[in-house]
């Protein structure tokens, strides 16, 4: 029961969750076979992944979509609201603030910060941009759990340090840096350049047009 869940499994759970949300409208029961076909994942892998957390299926039939959604919501910690702080309100930061999918998924951006003093006080959406110096107070007072970093590369290590010393344990990092962080803090990096470079590595080995 207290088995350590492989990280790769956790990376797949949100995919299951998303597909099930879509399937919810269409069907009551789904088999690992059908799920796998949608996600390009083997049925055995899906069954094994879920088995780390319990027995959610009905033998001979499959999984009850609604029930499994509930289980995944619980496993992923989606059965509550999460308060998120955004640092960096440039082009990217604004796009994130406007991204209308976060709110319905339970991610509430509570405060926005910037390191550029010219931005401070400006309104972006509902929020007034705050001075980064007030980050710590806001995080503690508002019980914020997650930080999103959308500042230029040069600012990023400093910003990430600040988030860590506020006690934030989860960071979604859009800056192209590989910060050193304590092992109890999770960082998920999103970097389009890195993504494109892995793609070109594969393209290269194709016949060059």
Partner DNA sequence: GTGTGTGAATGTTTTCACAGCG
Partner DNA sequence: CGCTGTGAAAACATTCACACAC
Interface positions with DNA (CB under 7 A): 6-9, 31-33, 41-45, 47-48, 50-51, 55-63
Rg (CA), the chain: 20
User: Contact region for a copy of itself (CB under 8 A) — 6-14, 23-31, 54-62, 118-126?
Assistant: 6-14
Q: What angle do CA 90, 14, 181 make, to 5 degrees?
A: 55
Site track 91-130 with a copy of itself (rule: CB under 8 A), x = hit: xx-xxx-xx-xx--x-x-----------------------
Give, as ranges, the residues between 143 and 172 that touch a copy of itself (CB under 8 A): 143, 145-146, 169-172
Residues in Cβ contact with 101 at an 8 Å cutoff, skipping those fewer than 6 apart: none
Q: How far apart are CA 55 and CA 100, in angstroms?
A: 34
Smallest distance from the beta carbon of 129 to a copy of itself, in angstroms?
18
Does residue 165 sit in helix, strand or coil?
Answer: helix
Q: In terms of C-beta density within 10 A (0-12 exposed, 13-18 middle, 19 or more buried), how is residue 93 classed?
A: buried
Which span sits near a copy of itself by CB under 8 A: 89-97, 111-119, 125-133, 155-163? 89-97
Instruction: Using the minimum distance from each CB to a copy of itself, give the nearer residue, 1 or 206.
Output: 206
* Residues in 21-50 at the binding interface with a copy of itself, rule: CB under 8 A: 38-40
92 binds, among a copy of itself, DNA, none (CB under 5 to 8 A by kind): a copy of itself
Q: Is the separation of the CB atoms in 159 and 179 below 8 Å? A: no
CA distances from residue 110 to 81, 118, 161 in whole angstroms, order as listed = 11, 21, 20
Contact of residue 118 among DNA, a copy of itself, none (CB under 5-8 Å per partner type): none
Shorter beta-carbon distance to a copy of itself: residue 58 or 194: 194
- Residue whose CB is less far from a copy of itself, 2 or 59: 2
**Angle between helix 43-51 and 32-39 (nearest 10):** 110
Question: Using the rule CB under 8 A, is 10 a contact of a copy of itself?
Answer: yes
């Amino acid at each position: 029961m207290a088995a350590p869940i492989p990280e790769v499994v956790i990376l797949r759970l949100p995919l299951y969750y998303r597909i099930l949300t879509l399937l919810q409208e269409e069907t009551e029961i789904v088999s690992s076979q059908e799920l796998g076909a949608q996600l390009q994942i083997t049925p055995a892998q899906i069954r094994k992944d879920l088995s780390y957390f319990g027995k959610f299926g009905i033998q001979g039939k499959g999984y009850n979509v609604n029930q499994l959604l509930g289980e995944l919501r619980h496993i992923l910690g989606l059965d509550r609201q999460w308060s998120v702080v955004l640092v960096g309100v440039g082009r990217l930061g604004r796009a994130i603030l406007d991204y209308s999918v976060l709110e319905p998924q339970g991610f509430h951006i509570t405060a926005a910060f910037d390191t550029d003093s010219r931005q401070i006080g400006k309104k972006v959406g509902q929020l007034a941009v705050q001075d980064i110096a007030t980050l710590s107070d806001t995080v503690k007072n508002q019980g914020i759990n997650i930080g999103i970093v959308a500042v230029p590369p040069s600012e990023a290590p400093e910003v990430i340090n600040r988030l860590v010393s506020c006690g934030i344990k989860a960071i979604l990092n859009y800056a192209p840096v590989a910060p050193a962080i304590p092992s109890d803090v999770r960082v998920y990096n999103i970097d389009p350049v890195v993504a494109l470079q892995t793609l070109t590595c594969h393209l290269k080995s194709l016949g060059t047009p």
